[in-house]
Amino acid sequence: MINDVVPKNNSSYYKQLETIIISLKKDMNENIDVLKNNKNDLTTDKITQMMENKYNQFIIGVQQPILNYITSSEERLTTNINIIKDNNNDTKNNQEKINEQMNEFLKKYNNNASSNIGKLNEGKLFIVLNNLYPNHEIIDCSNKSKHGDIILRRQTYKDVIFENKHYTSNVPKEDVFKFIRDCEEQNSSGILLSNCSGISNKNNFQIDITTENNVLVYIHKAEYDEFKIQTAVNIIDHITTILPRY
């Protein structure tokens, strides 16, 4: 019963209760021996009274250690709850800081995502063109207005403007108009590359010739394929050689 009420790991309270019980047993035995030796007093009333007195003393003696144990347990429980509460508050505050930092990062990422993706894809095309044309000038024009993304500049042929798209859906007609406008502004031939999709209102490898005799080529799902890109450049070079103003 003591083990159920006060576990043995609380040794001080356990020993107090054990001492009280041993003392009760000893007192009871001594009193019973006294009554046995004085047979005239060995009556049911005497025994009952003696038992009640010892029981009452036992209850009084046992109550205080148990109350002390319960009080200390409550104090420890309260302390632990407060510690957990403080830890939870610290964790909550740290999580809020992390959330704020993550939100700031996501805001910056969302604001810069399109431009970063565009730069990454332009970098891929830049590498491909440098591999294909090691003796020509490859100019990054992504920061210039009405110049396209990259210009291929050569001594023996006209410049070629490259407009590079990496959309999951077809390139919208607004981007097609912008590509045509840039070629007209620079009076240059051009290639519109859609690396992952088609191009609105344009067939794959469609060839258009402007009023200034500039040649425009449209490539669907180019996927940065060197053969497709080189073929488009060769088409432009071949056609421009037979046009009147070449």
The per-residue pLDDT for range 212-242, each reduced to its tens digit, is 899 999 999 999 999 999 999 999 999 998 8
Please give the Cα distance from 202 to 36 (Å, whole number). 122
Is the pLDDT at 153 greater than 80? The verdict is yes
**Contacts (Cβ under 8 Å, ≥6 apart) of 243:** 209, 213, 215
Q: How many CA atoms lie within 13 A of 10 on its CB side?
A: 20
The closest alpha carbon to 139, from 117, 121, 118, 154, belongs to: 154
If you average pLDDT over each of 30-44, 120-134, 150-164, which comes out highest? 150-164
Is the pLDDT at 22 greater than 70? The verdict is yes
Is the pLDDT at 114 greater than 60? The verdict is no
Q: What angle do CA 63, 68, 69 make, to 5 degrees?
A: 100
Is the pLDDT at 161 greater than 80? The verdict is yes
Is the pLDDT at 246 greater than 50? The verdict is no
